[in-house]
Amino acid sequence: MANWKKITRRSFLVFGAAVAGGAAFGAYKVAEVPENPLTPSADAIPLNPWVIINGDGITVIAPRAEMGQGISTTLAALVAEELDVDWQQVRVLHGPPAQAYYNAGFVDRMSNEPDFFLSQQPKSHNAILAAVPKIFSLQITGGSTGAIGGFVQMRLAGAGAREALKAAAAKRLGVAPETLKTEGGKVIGEKTFTYAELAAEAVDMVPADVELRDPSTWRFVGKAMPRLDMVAKSTGTETFGIDIWLPGMKFATVRMNPKRGGAMLGFDPGPALDMPGVDQVIGLGNGIAVIASNTWTAMQAAALVTVDWGPADYPADTAKIMAQIETAFRTEPDSRLRDDGDVEADLAKGEVIEAEYRIPFLAHASMEPWNATAWLKDDGSVEVWAGNQAPIMTRDAVAAALRIDADRVTLHTPVMGGGFGGRTDPVPAVLAARVAAALPGTPVKVTWSREEDMTQDYYRPAAIARITGRLEGGKPTALWGRTAAPSAARNAMARLIGFAPPGPDRGTVEGGFDQPYGLPHYRYDGHIADLSVPLGFWRSVGNSMNAFFLESFIDEMAHAAGADPLAFRLELMKDTHAPSAALLETVRDMSGWDSLKRPGFGRGVAFCYSFGTPVAQVLEVQDTEAGIKLTRAWIACDPGLAMDPSIIEAQMTGAMVYGLSAAVQGAINFADQQVVEQNYWDYDPLRMHTTPSFQVKILQNNGTFGHIGGVGEPGTPPAAPALANALYDLTGTRARELPLNKTFTFAV
Amino acid sequence: MPVTLTINGTSRDIDLPPEVPLLWALRDGLGMTGTKFGCGVAACGACTVLIGGQAVRSCQVPLSDVSGAVTTIEGLGQPDNLAPLQEAWIKHQVAQCGYCQSGQIMQAAALLAETPEPTDQDIDAAMQGNLCRCGTYPRIRAAIHDAALMMKAG
């Protein structure tokens, strides 16, 4: 490939600028050992920021938040692997906001080079890049980085604790630590000590260096471990944010300006205050809150408040918004992260294939609506419970909103009833704190109605893509993809940290520019649309957009060439990235690809390499009297080192269901500057009877040993194109717009 | 006047107006948070409980209309005393975020009470009102079949 040098230089400049623009820092801070944010008590002695020794086992402090992706179990398994405890002795909790819990895995998401290329390189990250997550205290769960960031960190935490406990026992026995062994939460020598007996003495004996165990000895990592949250989640005893219950608490809800970003010109509580059980109606500047004796009464009362909403500054409806996005094609590209060969010269040679694709805004629609609980104490400090993906940022935002110091904010991060990227913004915590400030001394839980959750979300961008390609003798020679969209990253970062990182916006083109297709001439451009609709990170981010564009177009090229679409992809990939090609062969064989083609059925294939993990999917559809049914799906993925096959299987399946739900019927539309869709009845995901059956195969060929790809997101991007391609196979109609129920009738 | 209901075999007084839905009486009035709020319009099934053995969406039933004994997820089984459905849920590692699972399990409990050996079509019909955004449907299906076997074996 011709342009790696140029690309590398560009990515470095990007981060030079981002670092310089964001904060002043010194090299000393990078080298600092993180301060341990945990304080000891009689039955809980922390040996480092990640390991607490209890009387009856250990508590692992997970630096990443649990949203259902299973990360708390995997991180605990990494600690247990080195610490020699039985699985029944392991508990896991989320840590407080603290620099110690920065996400080292984010380094893997801070490059503008294609992932498939990076995975083949030795791990020699630029020192400045590697320090970025730590400097910025990126205690963030996202980007499918949890296992990557924890892989070394959590094992070191376990090994360090083990060696400290051995040192304490050795001192008691007057022997060398090497003569002792550890097993089942005990140090065993001439005498046997439980970890709990040794913990207090071990605190000061944590060694500077420890050696990690050989992977051949692993007992937990790589195995399907029973999830540590499974019993609680099967018995209704898990405490989600929405379940925080404190004596004497009040219940509230909010109603914010549906014209997003607009001001509130005035409001009249009207009959709301007369409802039995209503305590207060509060103005919040751009919305109102109602505090009541129960959440239902608060929601009923909020609907009775008369509000004069100021306008937003984006176009009035979906058609005008799409027209504005379209104008971005007339601007200079923001990025050209792939430019192999000479696309323009090749396309000039003759007949080209062209297509335009359109996709809508999407909401996250997690099952647990946004909520947070806050309690303003008599001394002016505040305690907040809020499911969130970024505790330090959330804590600081609460402090800023109440004009108090950050150390006056105690933030708890309960497990989340889904996230999918939709709990990055600190809005629930901040608004709950502001509502609680109106009722000092009383804890207040603020719950968003489903309608507020849907219409106040930060959406996946709508986008338009234009792709041109050329075939010669049935072989593809050139592809020029152009995506026009508002930038989710710039929109969100400007809101979250006050500035939008400069440089090319990877999110607009990822899933398009970075795929292992060995076309001789391959260019991919991003055009940023100027649009102020509030945007956020939606499971797999830009990959969810560009995989639909690119994989639909590759399919169109295959059909134009009269080729089998799976074989066509394989041919393009086999010399570029063997592990990806192997996945196409795997789904071909798993699905019995050739036998899927029969009357009344359609088959579609799609591929995407994202977050370090290539994924290939085949989907079968069937024409029935009730409409088109999604019948069977096959997924092959290669995350490199597979940390927990059961969790990976669940994530791959769930991520494809998430992508298919959006592809079939997901769309957020605007009318009069307000989101039209309100609830699950008009933003309806797949259900039990509309979900296909699944088979998943996990390969482990990708990268050098220790390469760990993400698993939470990579299953989403191929879902929409696999379905669109299957529908073309079934009907001969090529849908170039999502959702697909605009073009096809599905069985519901 | 508090409303008196029988919940999980125990008589409970709830000091909320009679028009408040059962869901919010459980969650906000009694602190029984196993039953979840998802949509408020009976479109997601997260709030499913049993009233007189029938699966109902508790967000749609005012306290004044609760006509029988209420069973919630807390009454079906506890971590140290699991119901067969809960055992099957754990065996098949069904939950991801877990938020919808109380409702899924209660809906499945009503299904198995009525149809002890459900077919896939029975499961589709009974469970289609219960959303799961994590997409755990295949494991839910497997767990229901397995729970049916366990209950048959006694």
pLDDT of residue A330: 98
A682: closest chain B residue by CA: B43
Residues B89 and B118 in one domain: yes
pLDDT of residue A157: 92
Residue A615, SS3?
strand
Residues B65 and B116 in one domain: no
Tokens, residue A562: 């009269």
Q: Is the dihedral of CA A10, A16, A17, A22 positive or negative?
A: positive
Task: Examine the fold and report which residue of B48, B74, B100 is the final residue of a domain before the chain moves on.
Answer: B74
Q: What's the pLDDT band for A133 if we cut at 50, 70, 90? A: low
Contact at CB, B36 and A368, closer than 8 angstroms: yes
- Is the minimum CB–CB distance between B97 and chain A shorter than 8 Å? yes
Instruction: Please give the DSSP secondary-structure letter assigned to residue A257.
Output: -
Instruction: Answer whether A241-312+370-447 and A318-362+458-742 agree in fold.
Output: yes
Q: Is the dihedral of CA A359, A360, A364, A365 positive or negative?
A: negative
Task: Encode pLDDT of A289-348 as tens digits.
Answer: 999 999 999 999 999 999 999 999 999 999 999 999 999 999 999 999 999 999 999 999
- On average, the pLDDT of chain A sits at 91
Question: A313-317 — which CB contacts under 8 Å span 24+ positions?
Answer: A313/A261, A313/A262, A313/A532, A314/A260, A314/A261, A314/A531, A314/A532, A314/A533, A314/A670, A314/A673, A315/A670, A315/A673, A316/A670, A316/A671, A316/A672, A316/A673, A317/A669, A317/A670, A317/A671, A317/A672
Please report how many Cα atoms fall inside a 13 Å half-sphere around the Cα of residue B106, on the Cβ side. 33
Task: Encode pLDDT of B93-124 as tens digits.
Answer: 999 999 999 999 999 999 999 999 999 999 99
pLDDT of residue A132: 56
CA angle A217, A220, A224 (to 5 degrees): 130
- Is the minimum CB–CB distance between A227 and chain B shorter than 8 Å? yes
Q: Name residue A715's amino acid.
A: G
Phi, psi of A449 (to 5 degrees): -65, 160
In three-state form (DSSP H/G/I as H, E/B as E, the rest C), the secondary structure along A435-466 is HHCCCCCCCEEEECCHHHHHHCCCEECCEEEE
In three-state form (DSSP H/G/I as H, E/B as E, the rest C), the secondary structure along chain B is CCEEEEECCEEEEECCCCCCEHHHHHHHHCCCCCCCCCCCCCCCCCCEEEECCEEEEHHHCEHHHCCCCEECHHHHCECCECCHHHHHHHHCCCCCCCCCHHHHHHHHHHHHHHCCCCCHHHHHHHHCCCCCCCCCHHHHHHHHHHHHHHHHHC
State the smallest CA–CA distance between residue B86 and chain A in angstroms: 6
Q: CB neighbours (10 Å) of residue B14?
A: 21
Instruction: Please give the DSSP secondary-structure letter assigned to residue A668.
Output: B
Q: Name residue A372's amino acid.
A: A
| Burial state string for B27-44 with b = 16 or more CB within 10 A and e = fewer than 16 | bbbbebbbbbbbbbbbbb
Alpha helices in A689-741 (DSSP H): 719-731
CATH of the domain at B134: 1.10.150.120
What's the whole-number mean pLDDT along residues A636-647? Answer: 96
Residue A3 confidence (pLDDT) above 80: no
Q: Using CA atoms, how far apart are residues A358 and A368, in angstroms rounded to an integer? A: 30
CATH of the domain at B15: 3.10.20.30
The rounded percent of chain A whose pLDDT value lies above 90 is 81
Tokens, residue A394: 């959330």
Q: For residue B33, list chain A residues with Cβ-Cβ distance below 8 A.
A: 236, 239-240, 242-243, 245
Instruction: Give residues with Cβ within 8 angstroms of B149, minimum separation 6.
Output: none
Specify the residue for token string 């710039």.
A490
pLDDT of residue A705: 79
Residue A24 confidence (pLDDT) above 90: no
pLDDT of residue B109: 98
Contact at CB, B135 and A293, closer than 8 angstroms: no
Note whether B88 and B105 are within 8 A (CB). Answer: no
Contact at CB, A299 and B40, closer than 8 angstroms: yes
Instruction: Give residues with Cβ within 8 angstroms of A440, minimum separation 6.
Output: A376, A378
Residue A628, SS3?
strand
Q: What is the DSSP string of A541-607?
A: TTHHHHHHHHHHHHHHHHHHTT--HHHHHHHHHTTT-HHHHHHHHHHHHHHTHHHH--TTEEEEEEE
Q: Using CA atoms, how far apart are residues A622 and A625, in angstroms rounded to an integer? A: 10
Specify the residue for token string 């946004």.
A370
Give whole-number Cα distances, A346 to A474, A525, A576, in Å: 15, 17, 20
Residues B89 and B142 in one domain: yes
Give A 232-251 residues with CB within 8 A of chain B: 232-240, 242-243, 245, 251
Residue A361 confidence (pLDDT) above 80: yes
Q: Using CA atoms, how far apart are residues A747 and A740, in angstroms rounded to an integer? A: 13
Query: Domain ranges in chain A?
Result: 33-103+139-228, 241-312+370-447, 318-362+458-742
Residues B49 and B68 in one domain: yes
Task: Encode pLDDT of B30-59 as tens digits.
Answer: 999 999 999 999 999 999 999 999 999 999
Judged on CB neighbours under 10 Å (0-12, 13-18, 19+), A36 is middle
Q: Using CA atoms, how far apart are residues A386 and A390, in angstroms rounded to an integer? A: 10
Q: For residue A226, list chain B residues with Cβ-Cβ distance below 8 A.
A: 90, 93
Contact at CB, B38 and A367, closer than 8 angstroms: yes
Q: For residue A252, list chain B residues with Cβ-Cβ distance below 8 A.
A: none
Residues B41 and B104 in one domain: no
Give B 74-93 residues with CB within 8 A of chain A: 74, 77-79, 82, 86, 89-90, 93
CATH topology of domain A318-362+458-742: Aldehyde Oxidoreductase; domain 4 (3.30.365)
Contact at CB, A681 and B21, closer than 8 angstroms: no
Q: CB neighbours (10 Å) of residue A127?
A: 9
Domains in chain B: how many in total? 2
Residues B19 and B51 in one domain: yes
Task: Examine the fold and report which residue of B74, B95, B116 is the final residue of a domain before the chain moves on.
Answer: B74
What's the whole-number mean pLDDT along residues A61-70? Answer: 90
Phi, psi of A265 (to 5 degrees): -85, -25
- Is the minimum CB–CB distance between B142 and chain A shorter than 8 Å? no
Residues B69 and B81 in one domain: no
Judged on CB neighbours under 10 Å (0-12, 13-18, 19+), B13 is exposed
Q: Using CA atoms, how far apart are residues A488 and A510, in angstroms rounded to an integer? A: 12
Contact at CB, B16 and A69, closer than 8 angstroms: no
The rounded percent of chain B whose pLDDT value lies above 90 is 97
Higher pLDDT, A482 or A497: A482
Q: Using CA atoms, how far apart are residues B144 and B147, in angstroms rounded to an integer? A: 5
Phi, psi of A262 (to 5 degrees): -80, 160
Q: For residue B123, list chain A residues with Cβ-Cβ distance below 8 A.
A: 688
* CATH number of the structural domain A241-312+370-447: 3.30.365.10
Phi, psi of A565 (to 5 degrees): -60, -25
Note whether A732 and A615 are within 8 A (CB). Answer: no
What's the whole-number mean pLDDT along residues A237-250? Answer: 96
Tokens, residue B83: 């119901």
CA angle A87, A93, A94 (to 5 degrees): 140
CA angle A241, A662, A105 (to 5 degrees): 55
Task: Encode pLDDT of A256-286 as tens digits.
Answer: 999 999 999 999 998 999 999 999 999 999 9
State in words which class domain A33-103+139-228 has.
alpha beta
Instruction: Please give the DSSP secondary-structure letter assigned to residue A467.
Output: E
State which residues form the domain around B17. Answer: 3-74
Nearest-by-Cβ selection for A236 from B74, B90, B136 = B74
Examine residue B116 and say whether the peptide bond preceding it is cis (omega within 30 degrees of 0).
no
Contact at CB, B96 and A691, closer than 8 angstroms: no
pLDDT of residue A537: 95
Q: What's the pLDDT band for A14 if we cut at 50, 70, 90? A: very low
Task: Encode pLDDT of A92-106 as tens digits.
Answer: 998 888 877 877 776
CB pairs under 8 A between A and B: 198
Pairing mode, strands A382-385 and A371-376: antiparallel
Residues B85 and B51 in one domain: no
pLDDT of residue A108: 65
Residues B84 and B140 in one domain: yes
Task: Encode pLDDT of A40-58 as tens digits.
Answer: 787 889 998 899 999 989 9
Q: Using CA atoms, how far apart are residues B17 and A265, in angstroms rounded to an integer? A: 34
pLDDT of residue A730: 98
Instruction: Give residues with Cβ within 8 angstroms of A500, minimum separation 6.
Output: A487, A489, A490, A491, A493, A494
Q: Name residue A339's amino acid.
A: D
Q: CB neighbours (10 Å) of residue A201?
A: 17
Q: What's the pLDDT band for A125 if we cut at 50, 70, 90? A: very low
The rounded percent of chain A whose pLDDT value lies above 70 is 92
State the smallest CA–CA distance between residue A535 and chain B in angstroms: 20
Tell me which H or E stretch contains A159: helix A146-173
pLDDT of residue A18: 29
Which of A223, A367, A644 is the best mutation test for B, with the most CBs of B within 10 A? A367
